[in-house]
Amino acid sequence: MKALIIGSGLIGTTSAYFLARRGWEVTVLERQEGPGLETSFANGSLLTPSMPEPWNAPGTWRVLLRSLGRSGSPLKLRLKALPHLGSWGIGFLRHSSPQRYERNTVKNLRLALHSLEVLAGLRRELGIEYGGAAHGSLRVIRDAAALERALAWGERLRAQGGLDFRRLSADEIVAMEPALAPIAHRLAGGIHYPVDEIGNAYKFCVGLAEHARARGVEFRFGTPVTAIEVGRGNVTAVLSGKSRFTADRYIVAGGSYSPLLVKALGLAVPVRPAKGYSLTFEHPRLEPPFRLPICDDDFHAVVVPLEGMIRVAGTAELAGYDLSLPEARIQNLLTLVRQVLPAAGFERAQAKPWCGLRPMSVDGVPIIGPTPIGNLWLNTGHGHLGWTMAAGSGQLLSDLLTGGSPSVSPEAYALARFAAV
């Protein structure tokens, strides 16, 4: 069987690898000049089953309204994005009811935990070096009431999805991560999630692409898709300029651009871009060294030690397909990292800013599986959990296409779930 995959970010590359491992002939089309050069490039570097919550939490509409005109809002709506949201925006708010929010959180948690098991298997099998470490993450909380709410929510996720965690006092946080000693007096406490990991997503993507190529996967870089041909209910070819590519199965793994790729086919994929930002600081001056990733509740962002550098990432901005880097957003992240690690002396001149468009589905859960077009499949909509869910999503798609036995319920991630809404 032949498969053609559109996109070689984390999701497209893992899909290609698992299909090739099942003996399929795979071609990947990518408009960039290499794998992982868009949203997978400089993300937060955290693999976090501990953060399975969709962005449309109960009360999101208030957060979005307050974000208008406020550059520091963690979830921000840009007015220019409103025409692109349409019915998706209404659905996004509809899925923020407490019942749907909790149900979708558990779906994400189950796939995230499974994905980290799959990733561990890939490490053993392939020996990919991507700066990974599996010491868990620290969530620091400054308000006592907020800490109690977080612990109560954690107990619900432990009961429904098996998320493990441990409550920490401020002293225990410092014992685990001495670099946080300067802010210990401000902390009500925190939570350690032992399952979380860190790793350079871009390095992993490049490394896995090499292993996929060794299994016969053909990567066609610098090959943007210009059209998809359909006849008699099936895709007949994918076009890139004058080049025509054919296969038995076609997989769209184009992240936030997936809906645009299939729109002309009459297929509505409820995914929109959520812009995220990161700053990377190379060779930080910290004594003692910073060892564990920090998730800061007050600032809604993460600070991650990664192979001789520190990366701070956060925010979700509904701004359409805008890839500009406003200085106000850069300053927000700079303020955050100074609040978490005040002794590091971070300066704007040191920071390497970046932004990417996370593909956010309308309910906050990825879309993996078939479409109404007979041989067209999707693997997209992972939002802020693309790195966390990549290995499990690639394996799940491969299982579905090859008749394997999925380790998670595929119905939870099927496009067909929206038909009933």
Q: Could you read off the pLDDT of 250-277 as tens digits, one per residue? A: 999 999 999 999 999 999 999 999 999 9
- Name the region of 364 (left: φ>0; alpha: ψ -120 to 50; beta: rest): left
pLDDT of residue 283: 79
Residue 410, exposed/middle/buried by CB under 10 A (0-12, 13-18, 19+)?
A: middle
Q: Quick check: 284 pLDDT over 70?
A: yes
Strand, coil or helix: 55: coil
pLDDT band at 314, cuts 50/70/90?
confident
Q: How far is CA 167 from CA 141, 301, 416, in A?
A: 11, 20, 39
Residues 373/235, Cβ–Cβ less than 8 Å: yes
Per-residue pLDDT of 42-101, as tens digits, reads 998 999 999 999 998 888 766 666 655 555 666 666 656 666 678 888 898 899 999 999
CATH number assigned to the domain comprising residue 335: 3.50.50.60
pLDDT, averaged across the chain: 92
How many Cα atoms occupy the beta-carbon half-sphere of 180 within 13 Å?
29
Per-residue pLDDT of 17-47, as tens digits, reads 999 999 999 999 999 999 999 999 999 899 9
- What mean pLDDT comes out for the span 409-416? 97
- What mean pLDDT comes out for the span 366-388? 97
pLDDT of residue 329: 87
Per-residue pLDDT of 380-396, as tens digits, reads 999 999 999 999 999 99
Per-residue pLDDT of 113-146, as tens digits, reads 999 999 999 999 999 999 999 999 999 999 999 9
Percent pLDDT > 70 in the chain is 94
Per-residue pLDDT of 145-204, as tens digits, reads 999 999 999 999 999 999 999 999 999 999 999 999 999 999 999 999 999 999 999 999
Which one is predicted more confidently, 48 or 314?
Answer: 48
**CA 190/CA 1 separation, integer angstroms:** 50
Nearest one of 415, 418, 356, 413 to 389, comparing CA atoms: 413
Q: How far is CA 243 from CA 29, 41, 150, 239, 240, in A?
A: 11, 27, 53, 6, 5
Q: Count the neighbouring beta carbons within 10 Å of the beta carbon of residue 297.
A: 18
Amino acid sitting at position 232:
R
Which one is predicted more confidently, 78 or 405?
Answer: 405
**CA 86/CA 136 separation, integer angstroms:** 39
**CA 329/CA 315 separation, integer angstroms:** 9
**CA 324/CA 322 separation, integer angstroms:** 6
Q: Which residues contact 179 (CB under 8 A, 6 or more apart)?
A: 286, 288, 289, 290, 291, 341, 343
Residues 233/38, Cβ–Cβ less than 8 Å: no
Pairing between β-strand 166-168 and β-strand 197-198 as defined by DSSP bridges: unpaired
Q: How far is CA 2 from CA 19, 129, 227, 245, 401, in A?
A: 9, 29, 19, 11, 11
What DSSP assignment string belongs to 313-359? Answer: EEEEEE-TT-----HHHHHHHHHHHHHH-GGG---GGG-EEEEEEEE
Which one is predicted more confidently, 204 or 339?
Answer: 204
**CA 107/CA 99 separation, integer angstroms:** 13
**CA 398/CA 390 separation, integer angstroms:** 12
pLDDT of residue 81: 62
Number of domains in the chain: 1
Q: Quick check: 421 pLDDT over 50?
A: no
Q: How far is CA 20 from CA 8, 192, 331, in A?
A: 14, 37, 44
Which one is predicted more confidently, 338 or 119?
Answer: 119
**CA 395/CA 11 separation, integer angstroms:** 10
Q: Which residues contact 345 (CB under 8 A, 6 or more apart)?
A: 285
Strand, coil or helix: 362: coil
Alpha carbon 100 to chain centroid distance?
A: 20
Q: Which residues contact 258 (CB under 8 A, 6 or more apart)?
A: 7, 252, 269, 271, 359, 378, 380, 381
**CA 87/CA 340 separation, integer angstroms:** 39
Q: In which domain, by residue range, is 184 found?
A: 2-420
